[in-house]
């Protein structure tokens, strides 16, 4: 067996896709300070160190409170552009060739920032990053599940002029007590509009929420999905359907979804034949980007070269790229 160092080098070398990334969660403290200054907004922190020290979470809600506070400094189209460019520039170093990015329009419209301001800044960065670095991107709009169904319908209406630039809809924010069934009708309308369907499920919520996401939202991809492992029938179904799971190891550790990295279920998921992938979720808050996540699981779970290649393949195969684009990336993985 090769050394851990060799296996980390393999993970680095393989072309990869990131499929679970909230652009607002890539807001690094340094950029937060810069934007706060530019927009003349007071923030309750005096230094980058103070901000990082505040990132100590005991569950999802702890994190979300700080996450919504952090994103409140995003005001102008330029802010969203700078945020997105910083992320796309950063992941080049990890050999991430394709990204499917979530954004939370309601986190902005709720505080008076127009939908169009946020999406324009993000999409301009997508175009420039493709031209400058060759990275490809897709955009997924999430509904905040702690808000109402009616609010989600309003957000879908705001997205109407942009539908040719939006790949799908997702479901994020506080999971427990906000099951997928709450959004069945708005997801049905989104699918009628040709959008893909995704949902965070089984991060803190029970296996039944994963089942609802499959049966009621007809998801094309499952975000997190950890707690599906508590249910044998559900495991068999996810395997049979070839469902991609976007797993986020450092996020799971920081939000206490797992006790320590050695107890992370990623290796078990692969051994069960599930199509797991490695993602950063909210890299500025959880301690790192895609390669930081790979490094953590390779070390803690002693992943093999085959595991690492499977994770890279799953990320491409589970993306919404066209078949020809997938084939090109997959053959580059085989050659690497
Ligand atoms: N879970 C739910 N909602 C989120 C997350 C997450 O990990 N990150 C940003 N919004
Ligand atoms: Zn997430």
Helices 305-317, 290-301: axis angle to 10 degrees equals 140
Q: pLDDT of 100-157, one tens digit each?
A: 999 999 999 999 999 999 999 999 999 999 999 999 999 999 999 999 999 999 999 9
The CB of 223 under 6 Å from ligand 1? The reply is: no
Q: What share of the chain is helix, strand, coil (3-state, %, to 5)?
A: 60, 15, 30
> What's the rounded mean pLDDT across residues 211-215?
99
Q: pLDDT of 227-279, one tens digit each?
A: 999 999 999 999 999 999 999 999 999 999 999 999 999 999 999 999 999 99
Q: pLDDT of 62-110, one tens digit each?
A: 999 999 999 999 999 999 999 999 999 999 999 999 999 999 999 999 9
Ligand 1 pocket: which of 18, 19, 21, 22 to mutate (most atoms within 8 A of CB): 22
pLDDT of residue 322: 98
Q: Which atom of ligand 1 is nearest to the CA of 173?
A: 3
Which tokens in the block code for residue 137? 């991107």
> What's the rounded mean pLDDT across residues 21-30?
98
The ligand with the least distance to the CA atom of 221 is 2
Q: pLDDT of 296-308, one tens digit each?
A: 999 999 999 999 9
pLDDT of residue 175: 98
Helix or strand or coil: residue 260? coil
pLDDT class of 159 with cuts at 50, 70, 90: very high
Q: What is the end-to-end Cα distance of the chain in Å, rounded?
A: 18
Half-sphere exposure of 142 (CA within 13 A, CB side): 24
Q: Is the pLDDT of residue 1 over 90?
A: no
pLDDT of residue 239: 98
> What's the rounded mean pLDDT across residues 203-215?
98
Compute φ and ψ for 40, nearest 5 degrees.
Answer: 55, 50
Answer yes or no: pTM beyond 0.85: yes
Structural domains of the chain sorted by starting position, each given as residue range(s) with its CATH number in brackets: 4-335 (3.20.20.140)
Q: CA separation (Å) from 332 to 84, 204, 312, 335? A: 26, 36, 11, 5
Which tokens in the block code for residue 312? 């890279």
Helices 77-92, 29-38: axis angle to 10 degrees equals 160
Q: pLDDT of 34-48, one tens digit each?
A: 999 999 999 999 999
Contacts of residue 53, Cβ cutoff 8 Å, sequence gap at least 6: none
The CB of 60 under 6 Å from ligand 1? The reply is: yes
């Amino acid at each position: 067996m090769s050394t851990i160092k060799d296996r980390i080098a393999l993970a680095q070398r393989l072309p990869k896709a990131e499929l679970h990334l909230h652009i607002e969660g890539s807001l690094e403290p340094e950029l937060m300070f810069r934007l706060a200054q530019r927009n003349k907004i007071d923030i309750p922190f005096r230094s980058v160190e103070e901000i990082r020290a505040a990132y100590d979470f005991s569950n999802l809600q702890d994190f979300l409170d700080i996450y919504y506070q952090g994103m409140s400094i995003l005001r102008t189209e330029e802010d969203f552009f700078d945020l997105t460019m910083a992320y796309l520039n950063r992941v080049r170093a990890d050999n991430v060739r394709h990204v499917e990015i979530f954004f939370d329009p309601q986190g902005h419209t709720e505080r008076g920032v127009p939908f169009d301001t946020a999406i324009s800044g993000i999409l301009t960065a997508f175009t420039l990053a493709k031209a400058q670095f060759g990275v490809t991107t897709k955009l997924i709009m999430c509904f905040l599940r702690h808000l109402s169904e009616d609010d989600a319908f309003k957000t879908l209406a705001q997205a109407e002029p942009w539908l040719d630039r939006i790949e799908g809809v997702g479901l994020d924010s506080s999971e427990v007590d906000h099951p997928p069934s709450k959004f069945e009708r708005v997801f049905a309308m989104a699918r009628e509009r040709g959008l893909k369907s995704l949902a965070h499920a089984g991060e803190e919520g029970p296996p039944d929420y994963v089942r609802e996401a499959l049966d009621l939202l007809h998801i094309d991809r499952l975000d997190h999905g950890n707690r599906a492992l508590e249910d044998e029938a559900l495991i068999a179904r996810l395997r049979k359907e070839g469902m991609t799971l976007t797993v986020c190891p450092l996020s799971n550790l920081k939000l206490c979804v797992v006790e320590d990295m050695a107890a992370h279920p990623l290796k078990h998921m692969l051994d069960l034949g599930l199509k797991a992938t490695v993602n950063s979720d909210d890299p500025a808050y959880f301690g790192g980007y895609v390669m930081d996540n790979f490094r953590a699981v390779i070390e803690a779970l002693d992943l093999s070269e085959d595991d690492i290649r499977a994770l890279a393949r799953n990320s491409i195969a589970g993306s919404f790229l066209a078949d020809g684009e997938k084939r090109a990336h997959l053959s580059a993985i085989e050659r690497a």
